Structure 1
Amino acid sequence: MYHIPYNIDLKAFSRKLRNHSTVGEILLWMQLRAGQLKGFTFNRQKSLGEYIVDFYCKPLKLVIEVDGGYHITPEQRVRDQHRQQILESMGLHFLRFRDEEVRSDINTVIEAIERYIKTFEATEYN
């Protein structure tokens, strides 16, 4: 995987997003922060090229998105899919969860992330 440039122009917007997170994003961040998930460090509202992703773990090449209500519109779904395809072309992998899903069943969300980590470690390090 090559270096994905940090876009300094998105720094203020990224900070604004962190300060206006959804409940699901906050709950998931409480589980991901400070290497609490199998020792991996995640960034929150991370600028990757021209985009900002909800959560990013560089060693795992993993982007996690928590989709709130506005992600259900057809237009936003097309934009999300396009953005995801561009980032996947850079070697990144995506996990997507609905905000409601994170709020109502955080344990299942964490289990899905742990499954990704287990699969990644089995394929990447062997």
Structure 2
Amino acid sequence: MRKAMTDAELKLWNEIRAHRLMGLAFRRQMPIAGYIVDFACPNRKLIVELDGSQHASHEVSASDAARTAKLTAPGWTALRFWNDDVIRDIDNVCQHIVIAAGLAGA
């Protein structure tokens, strides 16, 4: 677990904390299936992971796929966003989260 958030994590956290995004209750750095996920909405079984450029390598990408498979096995939905997408287009990222949570059109 890390105490200091990246710029992208802080930007997203400011949008989703305290039920700010359509009333969804997110937790930060929550343990799930043996991993610590960036953000989780337990009520909707929704995980949000943010990835930096190091995740573009083949080795890390394969590791991320295995991690995602383990996280989704108990019924969670995992979303992955690039840090750059959060920084440049937070509205679209939040829209994807709302859709995945099943709140689109609510």
Q: What's the TM-score, normalizing by structure 2?
A: 0.91
Is there any run of 5+ residues in structure 1 with no aligned partner, and where?
1-13
Q: How far off its partner does 1:119 sit?
A: 5.7
**2:47 match: secondary structure:** strand
Deviation at 1:51, TM superposition (A): 0.4
Distance 1:119 1:93 in 2: 14
Conserved 8 A contact 1:53-1:64: yes
Does 2:36 align with 1:52?
Answer: yes
Structure 2 distance, partners of 1:96, 1:47, is: 17
Structure 2 unmatched ranges of 5 or more: none
Question: Could you say if the C-alpha distance between residues 74 and 29 of structure 1 is closer, same or farther in structure 2, counting changes exceeding 3 Å?
Answer: same
Greater helix percent: which structure?
1
> Displacement of 1:74 after TM fit?
1.1
- Superposition deviation, residue 49 in structure 1: 2.9
Runs of 4 or more consecutive aligned structure 1 residues displaced over 2 Å after TM superposition: 117-120
For 1:28-50, what per-residue CA distance to the aligned partner results, in whole angstroms no more than 9, with x for missing partners? 00011011111111011111131
User: Does 1:96 pair with 2:80?
Assistant: yes
Aligned length: 105
Which of residues 23, 33, 37 is equivalent to 2:21?
Answer: 37
TM-score (norm 1): 0.77
Question: Does 1:85 find its partner at 2:69?
Answer: yes
- Would the aligned equivalents of 2:38 and 2:49 in 1 still touch at CA under 8 Å? yes
Aligned-pair identity (%): 35
Q: Which amino acid aligns with 1:25?
A: E
Structure 2 equivalent of residue 8 of structure 1: none
Give the equivalent residue in structure 2 for 1:27.
Answer: 11
Q: Is the 8 A contact 1:44 1:53 kept in 2?
A: yes
Q: Which residue of 2 aligns with 1:114?
A: 98
Q: Distance in 2 between matches of 1:106 and 1:59?
A: 22
Q: Which has the larger radius of gyration?
A: 1
Displacement, 1:72?
1.2
